Amino acid sequence: MFEAPDATELALYLGLGEIEEARVELLIRQAVALCETVVRPLPEQATAVVLSVAGRAYINPTQVSYETIGPMSVQRPTGSGGLYLTKADKAALKSLSGRGGAFTVDPTPETADPSPTWPIDSDVGPGLEYEPGWGWI
């Protein structure tokens, strides 16, 4: 059963000594709700995705992409703030719930016979011998 992370876990995840607990609790609740739009109920291991989503929103709530303070400037990728799921987050949630990954579907019925199902034209391949499955040889 999934247990949502708490403020202490998000602080540890982000490497922060102090954290706004009320804001973190709100972000975690919203991150869980957002993750549940992909998979419901959330798998036990979805904590990593919830922490990632809430952590992005906590660190960059206004979606700042470029910032200059004195001689230092920082440029972040577009869409690096706010509360959202990345393609990787969605894939991880699906995989954790057992819905991700590739699979093969064989549409051939078990009773399928490799022999041709069309009429054999005896005028084709004069002088050759017809072998079922191989054709005129």
DSSP-assigned letter for residue 67: E
Cα separation, 36 vs 26, whole angstroms: 15
79 φ/ψ sector (left φ>0, alpha ψ -120 to 50, else beta): left
73: amino acid identity, one letter:
S
* Domain residue limits, the chain: 7-67+77-96
What's the chain's length in residues? 137
Angle at which helix 21-35 crosses helix 7-14, to 10 degrees, equals 90
pLDDT at site 68: 76
pLDDT at site 32: 94
pLDDT at site 57: 87
pLDDT at site 46: 92
The enclosing H or E element of 27 equals helix 21-35
For residue 98, what are its two tokens?
């057992």
| Helix (H), strand (E) counts: the chain | 4, 4
Do 66 and 87 form a contact (C-beta atoms < 8 A)? no
pLDDT at site 48: 93
Provide the residue-wise pLDDT of the chain in tens; the chain has 137 residues: 889 999 999 999 999 888 989 999 999 999 999 999 999 999 999 999 999 999 988 887 766 666 778 888 777 666 555 688 889 999 999 988 887 666 778 888 888 887 766 666 666 655 667 778 877 67
